[in-house]
Amino acid sequence: MDVRSLSRTEAKVVLSLESEGTEVVSLAEIRRRTGASPGFARKLAHDLVRKSWLQRVRQGTYLLNPGRYGPEAVPNTDPLRIGRRLVAPYYFGYATAAELHGIFPRASRVYYIVTPTRWVPGERLADRFRTVRLSRSRFFGSRPMVRRGVRLEVSDVERTVLDCLDRPELAGGIAGVSHIFALAKPGLDWSRLGSYLDRMKNRSLTLRAGYLAEHVRPSIPAPPSWVRARMARAGEPYVPLGPARIHGRRGVRDPRWHVIRNLADAQLFAEGEIR
């Protein structure tokens, strides 16, 4: 049997989606297009998935595998194509964004999706996608990007650097963050980086970002005004550079940034240029 064969009702769904260039369809939309009952709409969707015309991306939502995919209809399982349809609003962040920007050389098995919406990937997607939920006030700093013909929302370079420093476990640890900072530093928009720090209102993050700005690739100095505006104030507590639960709180103390360098040089590798 030709698995790509379509009944009259199935064809109404598929051909209408293809003619409109629509990529995603919900059960409610299948009902609207066919006049079917909720139960029959679910059966239609199930049959179209079985015949490889649709692939399920979340409960009640499907991606079209159009006719141009050929008679075998091998589904397009590109995580970027699927991930952008899982939740809205969203942006790809952390190691995923760093990789898309070319500042994280390792390929990550997990795709990080940042959203202010309460959503968790289902069991089928949990091994490929991880959601990081932010408050609406901290959900900013993304831009559109086209990769492999897919339009995505991705944190910009400055937001990517800060997100990774804020959650180093989502970017290869503090060594990965140092590497990301080193590769991003030549093209950083320091005004935007400072604006984001101000909006995030996280003094520990500001101090650690300032420390890396001076110590990673020192041959590319941060603007003096940027440094002066963010240096540690008298009496301000010291903060560990790497997560204390992993690296502890002991290490060399930097009096300019009140940062405890609680890692050995080998753990803080970044382009071979760190002091």
Query: Quick one: 26 and 158 in the same domain?
Result: no
What is the per-residue pLDDT for 79?
85
| DSSP 8-state assignment for residue 194 | H
Does the structure show a pLDDT above 70 at 2? no
| Residue 253 pLDDT level (bands cut at 50, 70, 90) | very high
What is the per-residue pLDDT for 56?
81
In a domain, 56, yes or no: yes
**In this predicted model, what pLDDT tens digit does every residue of 199-209 receive, in sequence order?**
999 999 999 99
Query: Quick one: 162 and 188 in the same domain?
Result: yes
Query: Quick one: 49 and 185 in the same domain?
Result: no
pLDDT, the chain, mean: 88
In a domain, 192, yes or no: yes
Query: Quick one: 151 and 186 in the same domain?
Result: yes
Q: How far apart are CA 152 and CA 67, in angstroms?
A: 24
Query: Quick one: 64 and 194 in the same domain?
Result: no
Query: Quick one: 144 and 169 in the same domain?
Result: yes
Tally of structural domains, the chain = 2
In a domain, 274, yes or no: no
Name the domain boundary from 17, 46, 76: 76
CB 122: neighbour CB atoms within 10 A?
Answer: 13
Contact 69, 18 (CB under 8 A): no
From 81, 205, 100, 221, select the one nearest 157 (Cα to Cα): 100
Which residue has better confidence, 170 or 267? 170
Query: Quick one: 242 and 193 in the same domain?
Result: yes
Q: How far is CA 256 from CA 27, 226, 235, in A?
A: 58, 14, 12
Query: Quick one: 114 and 157 in the same domain?
Result: yes
| Residue 70 pLDDT level (bands cut at 50, 70, 90) | low
The domain that contains 32 carries what CATH number?
1.10.10.10
In which domain, by residue range, is 45 found?
A: 8-76
Name the domain boundary from 34, 55, 76: 76
Query: Quick one: 167 and 144 in the same domain?
Result: yes
Name the domain boundary from 76, 92, 110: 76
Contact 18, 33 (CB under 8 A): no
Most confident region among 81-85, 148-152, 192-196, 242-246 by mean pLDDT: 192-196
Query: Quick one: 130 and 37 in the same domain?
Result: no
